[in-house]
Amino acid sequence: MTDRNDESAVSELVAEHRMAGEVAIVTVRGEVDIATRAQLEQAVRTCLARTRGGFCVLDLTDVRFLGGHGLAALLEVSRSAEKLQQPLRIVVDSNRPVVRPIEITGLEEFLALYHSVEEALRA
* 60: CATH: 3.30.750.24
Domain annotation covers residue 60: yes
Residue 81 covered by a domain: yes
Report residue 120 CA to chain centroid gap. 13
- How many helices (H) and strands (E) in the chain? 4, 5
Instruction: Provide mean pLDDT across the span 36-65.
Output: 96
Residue 2 has pLDDT above 80, yes or no: no
Query: Does residue 11 lie within any of the structural domains?
Result: no
pTM: 0.90
Inter-axis angle of helices 68-83 and 37-50, nearest 10: 20
Q: Per-residue pLDDT tens for 71-90?
A: 999 999 999 999 999 999 99
21 assigned to some structural domain: no
Containing domain of residue 43, as a range?
35-92+100-122
Task: Find, among 122, 123, 120, 103, the residue nearest to 47 by Cα.
Answer: 120
Q: Confirm whether 24 is domain-assigned.
A: no
44 is a domain residue: yes
Task: Give yes or no for residue 1 having a pLDDT over 90.
Answer: no
Per-residue pLDDT band for 121 (boundaries 50, 70, 90) equals very high
State the Rg of the chain over Cα.
14
Q: How many domains does the chain have?
A: 1
